Structure 1
Amino acid sequence: MKKTLSLVLSSFSLISTPSFAFSFTDPIDGMFDMGEYLAENAYGFLPVPIVITEPAVGFGGGMFGVFLHESEEEKEQRKSKALSSVDGGAQLIPPAVTVFGGAATENGTWFAALGHRRTWNQDSIRYMGGIGYGNALVDIGTRFNGVLLPDKIETDTEGFGGIQHLQFRLDNTDLFLGFSQTFFRSEITVNTGSSRIDRILSDVFGDSSTTSGLGISLEYDTTNSFFFPTDGIVIETEYMWYRDGFGSDYDYDTLAFSVTKFQPLSSKFTLVGSASLDSLAQRDESQILPPLARPYIDMRGIAAYAYQDDITSVLQAQLIWHVDPRWSTLAFGGVGSVAEKASDLYSQNEWAYGIGFRYQIARRYGLHLGMDFAFSDDENAFYFNLGSGF
């Protein structure tokens, strides 16, 4: 825990000297806190060190800055809450957030990204978007035209792209109707270990490829905090169409569904359960999709893209112990499965589990920063996390 705080404190070298006129001590508990700095400094940001141990790309690191944007009225309202309640202004409508930074790893993977989220009209309209550029060297396990290759494929993907997501609250309910757009242009090089298959895939993918799609979504959200929920449920479903008419080189559809429940067991414990299902809903069988198009098991402790197929399902659980208003520890575990058909899911399983902790670094906003240590049969990894991990 002390190592995490020292990393955060050392990153203050990125902050200009005048910012230290602001207090980094919370007025209620006297603990280290960045809430006042983030609220009162026009250029204030939360520096989040990135230590990458993702098994798919190797060790690496970087830095991201989290900027919070509020009006003067919102600042005063959140300050008043912070001075009168333990949970500060975490229950208020979350401020607009901008995230910017980058990272690189030992195998040559690197990326830079810019993201933004904000709401309007008392959280009746939500927007989230981001752009990025990078180069990813990832070993994947995948299937081509129904044939499961026995070994992992080495892929080198360089390119740029972006996503946008706009949601509208329906009639003062907790239900949101959303519209999505994605665009990625990349150059892909593959190495299967077979020169014959490499030539075939090079002919299919060409020098560059573009995936571009539009989608529609429904989301039901009753959680009590955007940054670190302890109560409520989030149910999301999204259908995406990738078509030539949208600028895509590939024709296929994807369907994603997930549900995450945050259940308080007492004032000290919160149980989190999550289930997700991602699939290729439809595709042109005459086309070979790019290596990263298929869904994969996305779970702490398992390398990204290591397990892919037409359908992916993940089940997870997490128990959070709120030691005090500042510190929390957690234990988590889950199982994932991939298959070509839904009926074959969980005939073969991949398990992962781990432990972690969080420190509430900005009580005024309910921002929690910490680390997770995760394990599976093939990999061990640790992650910096801003939030609950879901």
Structure 2
Amino acid sequence: MKKPIGNIALVMTLSAFICNMAQASQFTDPLDGAFDMGEYLAENAYGFLPVPIIITEPAVGYGFGVMGMFLHETEQQKEARRKLALQSVDGGAMLIPPAVTVAGGGGTENGSWFALLGHRRVWQQDSIRYLGGIGVGRAIMDFYPWSNNQGPLKERGFEIETKGLGGMQKLQFRISNTPLFLGVQQFYSDSEVTVNNILGTEHTYRFGNTKSSGLGVNLEYDAKNSFFYPTQGWDFKAEYLWYRSGIGSDNDYETLLASSTAYFPIAPRWTLAFAVEYNALTTDESRLPPLAYPDINLRGIPVNRYQGNYTSSYQTQVMWQWTPRWSISVFGGVGGNSGIGEANEGVSTMFEQMKWAYGSGFRYLIARRYGVHMGMDFAFSEHDNAFYFNVGTGL
């Protein structure tokens, strides 16, 4: 099992950096005197929240990167949020979230690297939502097409190298004054895929350049009490995309994603949360690019370790707000996948060999004015373990 070694010094350096910054008045919260980046993000034209990315993802090895999160508001919005934040601990966090831009990149020890830019914005009192992003990079990871089968091939994988660029965008409209949104979305990628070490040999197969282009619709019901760190309420999301040659795709297939999270206060400072996710891919083609297939999405399980035409995951998490600034959590979940290329009967095989993962984490309220919590999760599974820097609850 890989273990997160060699990162203690970096964490200590970041801690010392935060302590030094806290000595400046712009990084001290006027309500409790604690370190806080809310005023800096709001009042500094170039202010951003640095999010370190210490990569321990078993699929790509150890690595490091950094993301910058920029928040955008008008002067009137800033003043309204500032006044509410001075009146109560979570006052500013209850307002409509500001526009958010994220930018950054990173790399890992096996030669994988990425750079991305994303943006989220709302208009007309959160009646219209937009989310978009573009990225470029190179990913080298193992592909396990027989992970759901019994027999000698179950643990047999081969290395795939994917180089290219991609992007997505989503536009949603609120239905009347309800929490329900309907929208449209687009996905596009242009990548070169090479398969190495097939069945333990030196044989290499090059897919060549593959374009994936999809258009689709989405539905979202959002009744959570916070965008950045919800502690009450629930949401539901469904997305259906068609990939067709008529819109620039080299392969014809459809994907469905349905997910939901729910947060229940069970005692003062205690929250119980649940999350479920279901993915389906249907096609008449016998071969698609390896990364087109969905995988089990659980902290602690390597990315793309368990792929299939159908995948699902089920998680629960308990969060304890230890102090007004610090919170800790424990979480656990299971997931399942069908085989790749299986027809409708693959849905039932998805539940035959469930995989598990569990862990714990902590969060610090780093920007109280916006309700932004940042921290780390330590996760374990039967194959590996890893830790992650996260903004939000992690679900």
Relative to the length of structure 2, the TM-score reads 0.91
> Residue 124 in 1 paired to residue 121 in 2?
no
CA deviation vs aligned residue, 1:128-166 (integer Å, no higher than 9, x gap):
00001000001121259x999541121000000100011
Q: Which residue of 2 is the match for residue 333 of structure 1?
A: 332
For 1:10, what is the secondary structure of its paired residue? helix
For 2:64, what is the secondary structure of its paired residue? strand
Contact 2:157 2:199 survives alignment (8 Å): no
Note the 1:232-271 alignment, pairs <5 A: 232-271=233-272
Pairing partner for 1:41 from 39, 44, 47: 44
Amino acid at match of 1:162: G
Distance 1:67 1:5, change over 3 A: farther
> Residue 101 in 1 paired to residue 100 in 2?
no
Q: Which residue of 2 is the match for residue 273 of structure 1?
A: 274
Pairing partner for 1:379 from 367, 380, 384: 384
CA deviation vs aligned residue, 1:351-376 (integer Å, no higher than 9, x gap):
00000000000000000010000001
> Residue 69 in 1 paired to residue 63 in 2?
no
> Residue 142 in 1 paired to residue 145 in 2?
yes
Q: Which residue of 1 is the match for residue 115 of structure 2?
A: 112
Q: Structure 2: which 5+ runs fail to align?
A: 1-7
Pairing partner for 2:57 from 46, 54, 59: 54
Q: Which residue of 2 is the match for residue 10 of structure 1?
A: 17
CA deviation vs aligned residue, 1:19-60 (integer Å, no higher than 9, x gap):
x97511111111000000000001000011110000100000
Amino acid at match of 1:332: F
CA distance in 1, matches of 2:189, 2:288: 14
CA distance in 2, matches of 1:360, 1:102: 24
CA distance in 2, matches of 1:250, 1:94: 38
Amino acid at match of 2:293: R
Note the 1:118-197 alignment, pairs <5 A: 118-142=121-145, 150=154, 151-194=156-199
CA deviation vs aligned residue, 1:249-276 (integer Å, no higher than 9, x gap):
0100011111110111122101110111
Amino acid at match of 2:140: L
CA distance in 1, matches of 2:201, 2:264: 53
Q: Structure 1: which 5+ runs fail to align?
A: none
Contact 2:84 2:91 survives alignment (8 Å): yes
Q: Which residue of 2 is the match for residue 299 of structure 1?
A: 298
Amino acid at match of 1:352: A
Q: Which residue of 1 is the match for residue 5 of structure 2?
A: none
For 2:27, what is the secondary structure of its paired residue? coil
Q: Which residue of 1 is the match for residue 4 of structure 2?
A: none
CA distance in 1, matches of 2:331, 2:82: 34
Distance 1:65 1:10, change over 3 A: same
CA distance in 1, matches of 2:24, 2:373: 23
Relative to the length of structure 1, the TM-score reads 0.92
CA deviation vs aligned residue, 1:195-216 (integer Å, no higher than 9, x gap):
99956x53xx2x2110010010
CA distance in 2, matches of 1:7, 1:264: 32
For 2:81, what is the secondary structure of its paired residue? helix
Distance 1:11 1:305, change over 3 A: farther
CA distance in 1, matches of 2:374, 2:187: 29
Pairing partner for 2:87 from 84, 98, 104: 84
The count of corresponding residues between Structure 1 and Structure 2 is 379
- Of all paired residues, the percent bearing the same amino acid is 55
> Residue 24 in 1 paired to residue 31 in 2?
no
Amino acid at match of 2:332: G
Cα RMSD, aligned residues only: 2.5
CA distance in 2, matches of 1:106, 1:192: 19
Contact 2:225 2:233 survives alignment (8 Å): yes
User: How far apart are 1:221 and its partner, in Å?
Assistant: 0.5
Deviates more, 1:3-12 or 1:116-125: 3-12
Q: Which residue of 1 is the match for residue 288 of structure 2?
A: 289
For 1:166, what is the secondary structure of its paired residue? strand
Amino acid at match of 2:40: Y
Amino acid at match of 1:59: Y
